[in-house]
Structure formats: C-alpha cells, structure tokens
C-alpha cells in the first residue's frame, strides 16, 4: 500500500450558498493506493509504480477545479480518478477534510473517507 500524506489546498466546495461567498476554505486530504507492483519491486524499477507527484497533481486538480457540494462527492471523484489514471492501482482510498465546517458549535473539521472500487 502506498500512502500519500496530508496535503492542504484552498478551494470552494460547499452545500450552503452563504459559504460560496466566503474566501476559499482549506481542504486537507490524502490517499492510500493498493498498487499491483508485480515484478517492479523485485527488479528495482519505477516502470509499474505510481509517481507521487502525478498522483498529488490529480488530487489537486480535482480539489481546485469544479465545485462539488458535499465533501463526499469530492472524495469519491478523487478515488475514481486515481484508479482510472494509474493502471497499476487496484484500489484507492481517499480522505477529504474540510476545516471550519459551518456548524453551530466548536469543531475542528469534518472528514470523509471513501474507497474505490466500492
């Protein structure tokens, strides 16, 4: 399993209209990728691996791109896109955290974890 750690990106994903008019909010996220590395590891080659920089670019493009209303939709799109983009990824799990969610009370963040395939 390959783990891509916490990455912070500013974006606008929200359910409530009034949130849309605020400044971009900070989203944190990461991914766990089950990679079928096969002989790649034994042969000490990078041919069948996932380039971390490219994987993070895929996630960042999603987060900073099209607005999604629930954070769950963002996490699902990320897991599907990582699985589609990298042929050696057998399964992906992503985590999306939204800081300062609009709730009545003190809460650090909301977090969603999704896997693909489901």
pLDDT digits (tens, 9 = 90+) for 9-47: 766 656 555 655 555 677 788 899 998 877 777 777 777
Q: CA-to-CA distance for 25 and 35, rounded, in angstroms?
A: 32
Higher pLDDT, 55 or 101: 55
pLDDT at res. 22: 58
CATH of domain 2-116: 3.30.1130.10
What average pLDDT score do residues 111-116 get? 88
* 54 pLDDT more than 60: yes
pLDDT-based confidence at 84, cuts 50/70/90?
A: very high
pLDDT at res. 38: 74
Q: CA-to-CA distance for 36 and 50, rounded, in angstroms?
A: 10
pLDDT at res. 101: 72
Q: What pTM was computed for the model? A: 0.76
Instruction: Mention every residue, 6+ apart, whose C-beta is less than 8 A from residue 26.
Output: 8, 9, 10, 99, 100
Name the 3-class secondary structure at 60: helix
- Bond into 24 cis (ω within 30): no
In tens, the pLDDT along 89-109 reads: 999 999 888 877 777 788 788
pLDDT at res. 11: 66
Domain ranges of the chain: 2-116
């Amino acid at each position: 399993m390959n783990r891509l750690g916490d990455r912070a990106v500013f974006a606008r994903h929200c359910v409530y209209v009034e949130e849309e008019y605020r400044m971009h909010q900070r989203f944190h996220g990461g991914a766990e990728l089950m990679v079928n590395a096969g002989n790649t590891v034994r042969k000490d080659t990078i041919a069948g691996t996932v380039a971390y920089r490219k994987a993070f670019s895929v996630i960042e493009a999603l987060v900073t791109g099209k607005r999604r209303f629930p954070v769950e939709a963002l996490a699902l799109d990320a897991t599907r896109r990582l699985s589609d983009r990298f042929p050696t990824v057998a399964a992906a799990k992503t985590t999306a955290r939204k800081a300062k969610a609009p709730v009545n009370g003190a809460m650090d963040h909301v977090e969603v974890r999704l896997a693909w395939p489901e």
